[in-house]
Chains A and B, each alone.
Chain A
Amino acid sequence: MRISLFIPCFVDQLAPQVGLATVKVLKKLGHDVEFRAEQTCCGQPSYNSGQWEVAREGAIRALKIFRGAEVVVGPSGSCVAMIKKFYPDLLKDTPHAAEAKELAQRTFEFSEFIVRQLGVTDIGATLNKKVTYHDGCHAMRELRLKEEPRQLLRAVRGLELIETEESESCCGFGGLFSVKFPMISTAMVQVKGGALARTGADYVVSSDPSCLLQIGGWLTREGKPIRPMHIAEVLAEGLPANV
């Protein structure tokens, strides 16, 4: 299968290792991977800020960019939810409505794609660490992904998966919410981060790099030893370098 990568803007600029790990895992599974370089940002910040006119322009650009792609796969529950759930809503009653629905059907979050579309749970990764999983809200509540990432993690050799008491609590990121209402956002990550730190895990893993930015940013500021790691990075651990 030829997979078109959907790399969120901040992964591109601030966490490229997540994109590289995504490529590595998808290639290990025997698929061709392409990256259409016209892509930048899905427009979610504007959508969430109520600037739907602006967001609509971004959605229409994305339709054009991913036109003809067999499948589109992105390592972010939130940004994929933007394409899968919110583009069709944003573009309903416009000439782009049908294409938005059609793109939604062939766009997948990374763990969703591997488990539901490819039917694979064991990539062959090895990581001798204790990890806990953070459910990003968009992945869990917009895309209804809960077991898929855990199935992938359980198959990793040497990895011990432990649950967190607040695994379903929002980390408080919420895009621009995190900087428009920083006091509430911080209170939320205190609850989340505190629970994560108490697990004694080495890593907090998530399918959402934006949550990890928030959680990781707080954990390092507070000097907590647990580190953030994207699920693609976990699944790329121990794979041969030249896949």
Chain B
Amino acid sequence: MSNAKDIFLKEATTAAADGPQRIFINKALGGYYANRDIQKARFRDWERARDAASLAKWEAVNDLANTLEAFVAKFESNGGKVHWARNAAEAREIILQLIAAANAKAVVKSKCMTTEEIHLNDALEKAGYSVVESDLGEFIQQLRGEAPYHFVFPCMHVKREEISALFTKHLGTAATNSPEELTMIARRHLRQLYVDADVGITGANFLVAETGQISITENEGNARLTAALPRIHIALSGIEKVVKKLDDLSVLLPMLATAGAGQPMTCYNTLYSGPRKPGECDGPEEFHLVLLDNARTQLLADPEQRDALHCIRCGACLNVCPIFKNIGGLAYGTTYQGPIGSVITPHLRGLKQWNHLSGASSLCGACTDACPVRIDLHHHLLHNRRNANQTSPTWFDRLFHRGFNFVISRPRLFAFGGRVFRFTLPVLKKIPLPYLSAWLKTRDLPPAPAQSFRQQWKDSSHG
């Protein structure tokens, strides 16, 4: 069980066989669909809003160098400090150095998938710091010792009773079935940790070049506490999160909320403009932003799939994906699950190791229709399949398709082969054959007709 594909096949097989869990996820998403549709209907024209959102990201991503430079100049003139990281290791190193320089002991984090991407928590814990996730879902996943299940709803697969038992085990609280009480338990536990923490680490939803501000969207207020209470605020962001104008947020923020969670707006939308200035009563002493490449510039260099950098990480594509709904988020083994994850993970971590995710799709296109910034997701899965075939072809695939092509390019051979297949099908069904046996394990094939269409056409008056 060494490579990513084998692990994926094993995990996906287990998850797909877990009927009750699949029903639980489907039910959870049912509520999301209803709310999303109500909120979508409040837009004057959802499709035009998608155009506008897509354009805002296109403008920034297709002029990324200039947009980033403009952002950085503004951000630093506001008193923040920018650090550039080419890859995950550099980003971890920068953050560790900042924490060490601050003589910090405790770190509090708000939800940030980019820190998952660079495996920051592991690095911090190995260096001896205590790290606590302050987003409720992430906090639960941290206690469970499990990666986020969904990059927007990290613990959507966990039942209330399990959360209660988890809190009893780790926090010593009494069992409860009330979501409000469970939330209060986490809240009481976390409050002191914000105060005790020397460093707060956040992500960023958008970087606004026009004003040099960081936009963070959240429902719990934990990111505001993470950014405001500790002495040092470190934000980590992919370079593609930048937008040109403050006004771009007027479409991106509501679309993020509606597409992602079925909300009109997320509860807290905050623009962070720099560290505490002289005369101000709160805010961090230092405000650092680590800008991460980690293969994003490689994706930028691919004009066919560059639009994947438009992603605002709303999770809408996961929410509608029948693959995600049936195998869940953990089986992917990636930071970013679902269709967007299957598209970008091969770019982030290597196509040869991760192309199987592009193959594990019926190409139904529900994701592409759901994407608020119009990323051509399901066609990019096809592009990954093609690219993988060009760079690391497998002999079975090559032989199979060359053989198939040999037959279909010869109509008489095709007709003959079809006839042989139809007559021998009852026997073929009984012997183990690639593909056919996989089909027959769970599905029937209708009895083969005695005559093909082409025979009947020829025999009738038509021919």
Contact = CB atoms under 8 A, between A and B. Distances in A.
A177 B362 CA distance: 6
Interface in B401-437: 401-402, 404-405, 407-409, 411, 414, 418, 421-422, 434-436
Contacts, number: 190
Contact of A221 (B366, B442, B458): B442
Contacts of B7: none
B326 interface: yes
A94 interface: no
Given A13-B452, A174-B363, A182 B389 contact: no
Contacts of A141: 364-366, 368-369
A51 B397 contact: yes
Contacts of A97: none
Given A46-B404, A179-B435, A218 B442 contact: yes
What is the size category of the interface that chain A forms with chain B?
Answer: 35 or more
A7 B418 CA distance: 14
A189 B362 contact: no
Which secondary structure dominates where chain B touches chain A?
Answer: helix
B443 interface: yes
A49 B397 contact: yes
Interface string A159-189: 0000000001110111011111111111111
A170 B443 contact: no
A182 B13 CA distance: 9
Given A35-B454, A169-B322, A221-B443, A40 B414 contact: yes
Interface stretch (A53-61, A114-122, A199-207): A53-61
A43 B405 CA distance: 8
A57 B402 CA distance: 11
A217 B443 contact: yes
Q: Summarize A's interface: helix, strand, loop or mixed.
A: helix
B359 A7 contact: no
A183 B16 CA distance: 6
Nearest to A141: B365
A223 to B, nearest CB: 10
Interface of A: 7, 9, 11-17, 19-20, 23, 33, 35, 37-41, 43, 45-52, 54, 57-58, 61, 137, 141-142, 168-170, 172-174, 176-189, 191, 213-214, 216-218, 220-221
24 contacts: A7-B454, A12-B454, A16-B449, A16-B452, A45-B401, A46-B404, A49-B401, A50-B388, A50-B390, A57-B405, A58-B405, A58-B408, A61-B409, A170-B322, A170-B362, A172-B362, A180-B438, A182-B439, A184-B326, A186-B16, A188-B323, A188-B326, A191-B26, A216-B446
For the complex of A and B, the 7 pairs showing the least CB-CB separation, nearest first, are A174-B362, A50-B385, A217-B443, A170-B364, A50-B389, A16-B453, A19-B453
